[in-house]
A and B are shown apart, each in its own frame.
Chain A
């Protein structure tokens, strides 16, 4: 087992299942201590259980005012610092634009984009002081390619990439990198919600001929978190089985 991240503290949002869980497990395997967030007490307890001694689950509702600052202060008090932030928490509220409610738009932008701004802002001060940090934002292939029925989600994920690039330029001189990982279609609860017809259509567009596994996203995140990736910033790593080559 490699321990390249030993002594480092990571915060992973949306770590209950799917990609977030795989990321938390990857970072733990590399030696980091991980704080994973869930929206419920039950989810937080589940995270604490699978992380064991090398981490803990905490409740975070990213849209709740003040919740982010409170959590970040709590982690800093308990663990002393945050070295790695993985903004993974995300939701979908799919609808064709003609039918999309303001509410569906707002919720997705709030959770998938605004929360990333708030959490990044809350942790970057400590990272800048330490002259070391990794902010890794989980985007999506559809942020680059677009996808019908997901104008809100695509807008948030495309926004995330622009955000990452701007922040990367602002704080590169402080040893903090900001990158994105853009998954294609990964076998998670989020993609299980797709209809068979949608799946069939998607399969035809993936040269690898299969869905990706959450661990395959986590591996890219683990690399960006490592010391070896110190000179990579503002970059997006696409992990999509060849579905879209940017």
Chain B
């Protein structure tokens, strides 16, 4: 079973088509990984699917880095 961190990174790699070494915790989706607004929406939806959770819009807006995504899932998964 992969850790939450690994699963989040895998989704980021798949959704944004970036290399594994680029997906550092502090990497910003938009500034470092080249995501546009649609990419970030898709990314959030992929996270919702993977972790079977619903991320409200106001929370989704705050998920701007790899670490922020990991933290959010850690905090909200059972």
Residues of A in contact with B (beta carbons under 8 Å apart): 125, 128, 170-171, 173-174
Contact = CB atoms under 8 A, between A and B. Distances in A.
A173 B38 contact: yes
Grouping DSSP codes into helix (H, G, I), strand (E, B) and loop, the A interface class, with mixed when no group exceeds half, is helix
Interface residues of B, number: 4
Interface of B: 36, 38, 42, 45
Nearest to A174: B38
Nearest to A170: B38
7 contacts: A125-B45, A128-B42, A170-B38, A171-B38, A173-B36, A173-B38, A174-B38
A174 B36 CA distance: 12
A96 B36 CA distance: 46
A171 B42 CA distance: 11
Nearest to A173: B38
A171 B36 CA distance: 12
A173 B38 CA distance: 9
A125 B42 CA distance: 9
Contacts of B36: 173
Contacts of B42: 128
Q: Which 7 A-B pairs have the closest CB atoms?
A: A170-B38, A128-B42, A173-B38, A125-B45, A171-B38, A174-B38, A173-B36
Contacts of A174: 38
Contacts of A128: 42
A170 B39 CA distance: 11
Nearest to A129: B42
A174 B45 CA distance: 15
A125 B46 CA distance: 10
A128 B42 CA distance: 9
A42 to B, nearest CB: 37
